[in-house]
Structures are given as structure tokens and as C-alpha cells.
Amino acid sequence: MNRRKSREVTMKLIYEILIKKENFEEIFENFKEHTEEDVSELDMEYIANTLKGVTENIELIDATISKYLINWKIDRLSKIDLSILRLAIYEITFEADIPSVVSVNEAIELAKKYSQDVTGAFINGVLGRLVEKAK
């Protein structure tokens, strides 16, 4: 199982939920039926639980994002950046077995891969403020 790849798939599915406005069960089932990913490399339980957790806690997660944005509003974020932040904040807030530093680093890597060049630093700033406040 590859947690990095599972995180990447989860972020894409969070993005899909945001775009299609469908529930996480439909998105996840569609993914399982039509994916070209090697599912043996994926932690399907992590993906399902994280999608469910993000969906069920979306108000708290988005409030947290808004709280730690500086000179930005959540509705100005690109949907991919919002998806990355939702995933990372869910992990930091609700997954005690995942160290915060891992969630932050993985979010930065996702931002570097899927967003603009400066987004990694932006994501790091938002998540860094959250982690620092939590200490």
C-alpha cells in the first residue's frame, strides 16, 4: 500500500466532489468501478474514511481554512488548492496517527504537482499557522 498515492487519489476525489457536487459515496463507488489506478497500491480504507471525514466535517474544515488565511477569502482559492487544504486539515485535525508534519509536507508536494509554483509556500503558510497554534 502506498499512502502518498492514496493521498493523491483522495485529493482528486475531494476535488471531484467539489466540482460535481455529488456525495462522497457516489464519487468513491464510481472511482472503484472505473479507475485505471493499480488499486493494490492504494489504501482504499484510508481513501473511503478520509472522503467521509472531510464531507462530514466540511464546515469545521472550511472555517479552519478561513481562520488561517491572511488577506484571502476561501472563495478566492482555486478548487485544487481548496481540495489540498481540506485533505491536510482533515488529517491534522482528525487523524491522530498521522503526524502533522507529514500532512503538511504531503500537502506541499501535492500543491507543487497540481497547482502553481507559489502555491506550495502558500499551503505551507496556512498549514504552518494551524500547526503552530495547535502546539
User: Per mean pLDDT, which range of 13-22, 29-38, 85-94, 104-113 is the poorest?
Assistant: 29-38
CATH of the domain at 129: 1.10.940.10
Task: Count structural domains, the chain.
Answer: 1
Residue 123 scores a pLDDT above 80: yes
Put simply, whether the predicted model's pTM sits higher than 0.85 gets the answer yes
- Per-residue pLDDT, 105: 95
121 phi/psi in degrees, rounded to 5: -65, -40
d(CA 32, CA 104): 27
Give the orientation angle of helix 79-94 with respect to helix 3-20, to 10 degrees: 120
Q: How confident is the model at residue 135 (pLDDT cuts 50, 70, 90)?
A: low
pLDDT at 40 over 90: no
Give dist(CA 66, CA 12) in Å, integer. Answer: 21
| Contact between 127 and 105 (Cβ < 8 Å) | no
Give the structural domain span for 90: 3-134
